[in-house]
């Protein structure tokens, strides 16, 4: 039986997605054996990230700076804006740089059941970005759920008054946690085959 501190570390690690108690223990053992190198490095890195984490004031991405790395990247095509429900969707899409433009994170989806209204999401901020000009196309990359699609329709309606092309993925994104398992070919295909809304 390990000391309470080591047990606590194992318990904390076991709460990470994809890491059960057994893998957590294995990770702890690995770290303990490398207490002078990897353990210190991990502790420092975690501390640094925790200190710096901030939500991008422009797109809602989470990064260590605001504007985030994507918003600040001059090589990104500002004329294309991809709207996603959550940061996890942004990261999945951006994993392989599948989308050349920039993003907008809504922070959820409309849901009568959960009481999520349009004003609870970053929809006004999105309209503000479009209104500011320079955007040619808004890609609605919502999850393939009823609520995701309802959200997409609502946003498409709100965008109608602006001179932008509104498209959506050929297939909606799978829900949250499954994104990691979605291969890039499928995502790339859904993006390539995106179609106009309405
Ligand atoms: Zn950003």
pLDDT tens digits for 1-13? Answer: 679 999 999 999 9
Question: How far is ligand 1, taken at its centre, from the CA of residue 104, in Å?
Answer: 8
| Cβ neighbour number for residue 145 with a 10 Å cutoff | 17
Question: How far is ligand 1, taken at its centre, from the CA of residue 61, in Å?
Answer: 5
Domains identified in the chain, total number: 2
Question: How far is ligand 1, taken at its centre, from the CA of residue 72, in Å?
Answer: 7
66 within some domain: no
Residues 186 and 121 both lie in one domain: yes
Flag whether pLDDT at 74 surpasses 90.
yes
Residues 47 and 137 both lie in one domain: no
DSSP 32-70: HHTTTTHHHHHHHHHHHHHHH-EE-TTT--EESSSS-TT
CATH number, position 183: 3.40.1360.10
Question: How far is ligand 1, taken at its centre, from the CA of residue 1, in Å?
Answer: 46
149 within some domain: yes
171 within some domain: yes
Residues 172 and 98 both lie in one domain: yes
- Position 177 scores a pLDDT of 46
Residues 110 and 13 both lie in one domain: no
Question: How far is ligand 1, taken at its centre, from the CA of residue 65, in Å?
Answer: 9
pTM to 2 decimals? Answer: 0.82
71 within some domain: no
> What tens digit of pLDDT does each residue of 105-133 get?
999 999 999 999 999 999 999 999 999 99
**Chain centroid offset of residue 72 CA:** 17
Residues 101 and 24 both lie in one domain: no
Question: How far is ligand 1, taken at its centre, from the CA of residue 147, in Å?
Answer: 24
Question: How far is ligand 1, taken at its centre, from the CA of residue 7, in Å?
Answer: 38
CATH number, position 24: 1.10.8.420
Question: How far is ligand 1, taken at its centre, from the CA of residue 23, in Å?
Answer: 34
Question: How far is ligand 1, taken at its centre, from the CA of residue 44, in Å?
Answer: 25
Residues 36 and 118 both lie in one domain: no
- Position 18 scores a pLDDT of 87
Of 37, 52, 67, which residue sits at a domain end? 52
127 within some domain: yes
Residue 11 lies in domain: 4-52
Residues 96 and 190 both lie in one domain: yes
């Amino acid at each position: 039986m390990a000391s309470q501190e080591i047990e606590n570390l194992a318990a904390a690690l076991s709460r990470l997605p994809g890491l059960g108690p057994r893998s957590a223990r294995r990770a702890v053992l690995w770290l303990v054996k490398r207490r002078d190198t990897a353990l210190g490095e991990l502790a420092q890195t975690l501390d640094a990230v925790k200190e710096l984490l901030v939500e991008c004031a422009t797109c809602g991405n989470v990064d260590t700076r605001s504007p985030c790395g994507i918003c600040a990247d001059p090589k990104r095509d500002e004329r294309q804006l991809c709207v996603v429900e959550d940061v996890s969707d942004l990261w999945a899409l951006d994993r392989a740089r599948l989308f050349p433009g920039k993003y907008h994170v809504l922070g959820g989806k409309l849901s009568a059941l959960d009481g999520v209204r349009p004003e609870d999401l970053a929809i006004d901020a999105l309209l503000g970005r479009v209104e500011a000009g320079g955007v040619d196309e808004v890609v609605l990359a919502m999850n393939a759920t009823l609520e995701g699609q309802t959200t997409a329709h609502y946003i498409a309606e709100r965008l109608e008054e602006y001179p932008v092309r509104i498209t959506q993925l050929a297939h909606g994104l799978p829900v949250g946690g499954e994104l990691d398992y979605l291969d890039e070919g499928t995502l790339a295909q859904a993006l390539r085959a995106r179609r106009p809304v309405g």
